[in-house]
Amino acid sequence: MDDELSKATDEVSSEEPVDLSVLEGLDFGPDWGKGIPQKKSPKGSFGPNRSETKKPFRRNKFSGNARPRSKINKPTKKPDPDHLVSFSPEAIPFANLIREMKTTCRAYSLFDLAKLILGKPERFVVMATPAEKPGHEIAYFVTKPDGLACATREEACAHLMDSHGDSFFEVEERETEAPKGSFTVVNKCGLTGELLAPPNYHRYAELIREHHATHLSNVSYEKFQRSIETEHGTEIVEAWLDGMKKVRVYRLKDRSVEEPEFFETREALQRFLMGQRFSKLIKKVRRARFSGNCLNNLPSGTLKRDVKMALEEQMRYPLSTATMLRRNFRKMKFAVYKHGSKGITFVCAIKRKIRTPDTVFASSIQTLLDFLDENPKSRKNELVERFLGLNSEKRTKEQEESVRQLARDFRWLVTEGYVTEFADGTLLLPPVAPSSLTPSVKTKKKQKPTHSKKSVTSDEILPEAAETSSITQQDDMEEKPPENSDN
């Protein structure tokens, strides 16, 4: 297909434009572009009805008891959320999206724009509110260095230890004696492969918690516990004893005279920091708002679970996100309307205009409009070949000029709103408004008293009136969820 018209009309932004090409493969075209659906053949056209010829099934009385029915696995019920989660666009990516939509002047599906924003964490912001439940604290604990929201103060302190611990302490290794005792087996982490400790060692619980905090903080503690394996043999025990001859100690940075010089365990250090340092770095809020980039850093818990659950539901059927986007687009004076028999909501930077019998265009533009009227299934990348009759072979200067003139005419029709270009390149040219609207509009206008000396012509009224009759403004989100949706 000849794509020169796209090159001549599309402008490229130089400031990290949002990639809208992912929407071009989707079908946003009007219903008339899909052709007339074929009716199903009535019963009996391919032979007699099977139900009339099939004999009824009868169980043999000597066949024994009936075969037991197999159990049907019912889908597990999702847990009730502890947090009410919604999403909004990040400011800078959304500004890039707006600029790109104003540049292309194409009409995009509102739901697909919502999925585009939710497709990457850096494009959206998470907003969470605790659900009102008995015994459930209505608050979040936000770490000031990075703005991460946690459901409990302990989770916030653990995050500061894992992500910002270098600002508070440093780790040193010291030589010490190997543990004494009778050890026959050693437990090993199945995720990292490191030897942990024998189950009968008195510091076993402390060592596995420290291993999880330092190496597997992004993995749930339950999953870590399930991965623990038991190793037998003298060589395994000796290897663990040799490793225990070196221990880690934690030394505070910016230590005052009355504070301890070092801590032998990570847990002791965390208890000290929770009481002395972290209280100044954690703020308590009733509602949380954080970037989608922080999602992977959330501690494993109900908040992370509910955010991921809400994100999956919105990616499948983004009703609430699309409703929020619709308000933002309308504030920016974008055209938001439904189109087609399914009532799909579209958004475009250009408000559509309807031709009237009195509208006069230049000859080249009128010729293009006549072609689009006669060929309602046209696409933008087909105009050079179908409208001008030119192929991709070498062209003359006159033919090149005709392509440029077509690009100028097409761009003017799109930017003025007479032609709508959908994301997949499908073109929509609304029919000319019927002339019968003219008297009624004029009569209605005369009935209203006016104190202005300026007269309003029918050409100024008709496009707006005709547009109201052909475009259903989006007041309610009526898109139906997919059949396999849980909503």
* pLDDT (tens digit per residue) in 245-261: 887 888 888 888 788 87
Q: What is the pLDDT of residue 443?
A: 46
Cβ-based neighbours of 328, under 8 Å, separated by 6 or more: 89, 94
Q: Is residue 361's pLDDT more than 90?
A: yes
Q: Is residue 78's pLDDT more than 70?
A: yes
Domain parsing of the chain, residue ranges: 4-12+354-448+457-470
Q: Band of the pLDDT at 471, cuts 50, 70, 90?
A: very low
**204-216 pLDDT per residue, tens:** 888 888 888 778 8
**Residue 393 Ramachandran class (φ > 0 left, ψ -120 to 50 alpha, else beta):** beta
Q: Is residue 52's pLDDT more than 90?
A: no
Q: What is the pLDDT of residue 422?
A: 94
**Tokens 């104003």 — which residue?**
102
Q: What is the pLDDT of residue 467?
A: 38
Task: Give, in degrees to the nearest 5, the angle at Cα 32 between 26 and 38.
Answer: 100
Q: Is residue 445's pLDDT more than 70?
A: no
Q: What's the rounded mean pLDDT across residues 87-94?
A: 96
Q: What is the pLDDT of residue 83?
A: 92
Q: Is residue 287's pLDDT more than 60?
A: yes
Dihedral sign, CA of 174, 175, 177, 182?
A: positive
Range from 85-94, 131-140, 271-280, 302-311 carrying the lowest mean pLDDT: 131-140
pLDDT, averaged across the chain:
78
Q: What's the rounded mean pLDDT across residues 471-481?
A: 45
CA 268 and chain centroid, separation? 42
Q: Is residue 31's pLDDT more than 80?
A: no
Q: Band of the pLDDT at 421, cuts 50, 70, 90?
A: very high
Q: Is residue 480's pLDDT more than 70?
A: no
Beta strand 288-291 pairing with 335-339: unpaired
Q: What is the pLDDT of residue 217?
A: 74
Which burial class, exposed, middle or buried, applies to 367 when counting CB atoms under 10 A from its CB (0-12, 13-18, 19+)?
middle
Q: What is the pLDDT of residue 442?
A: 46
Task: Report the distance separating Cα 44 and Cα 41, nearest Å.
Answer: 8
Task: Give, in degrees to the nearest 5, the angle at Cα 332 between 331 and 333.
Answer: 90
Q: What is the pLDDT of residue 168?
A: 86
How is residue 228 written in tokens?
């623990």
- Range among 54-68, 132-146, 357-371 rated most confident: 357-371
Q: What's the rounded mean pLDDT across residues 402-407?
A: 92
Give the residue with greater pLDDT, 405 vs 462.
Answer: 405
Give the residue with greater pLDDT, 445 vs 373.
Answer: 373
Q: What's the rounded mean pLDDT across residues 180-193?
A: 90
Beta strand 420-421 pairing with 427-428: antiparallel
Q: What is the pLDDT of residue 133?
A: 77
Q: What is the pLDDT of residue 473?
A: 39
How is residue 453 written in tokens?
């000396």
**2-21 pLDDT per residue, tens:** 456 666 555 433 444 555 65
3-class secondary structure per residue, the chain: CCCHHHHHHCCCCCCCCCCCHHHCCCCCCCHHHHCCCCCCCCCCCCCCCHHHHCCCCCCCCCCCCCCCCCCCCCCCCCCCCCEEEEEEECHHHHHHHHHHHHHHCCEEEHHHHHHHHHCCHHHEEEEEEECCCCCCCCCEEEECCCCCEECCHHHHHHHHHHHHHHHCEEEEEEECCCCCCCCCEEEECCCCCCEEECCCCCCHHHHHHHHHHHHCCCCCHHHHHHCCEEEECHHHHHHHHHHCCEEEEEEECCCCCCCCCEECCHHHHHHHHHHHCHHHHEEEECCEEEEHHHHHHCCCCHHHHHHHHHHHHHHHCCHHHHHHHHHHHHHCCCEEEEECCCCEEEEECCCCCCCCCCCCCCHHHHHHHHHHHHCCCCEHHHHHHHCCCCCCCCCCHHHHHHHHHHHHHHHHHHHHCCCEEECCCEEECCCCCCCCHHHHHHHHHHHCCCCCCCCCCHHHHHHHHHHHHHCEECCCCCCCCCCCCCC
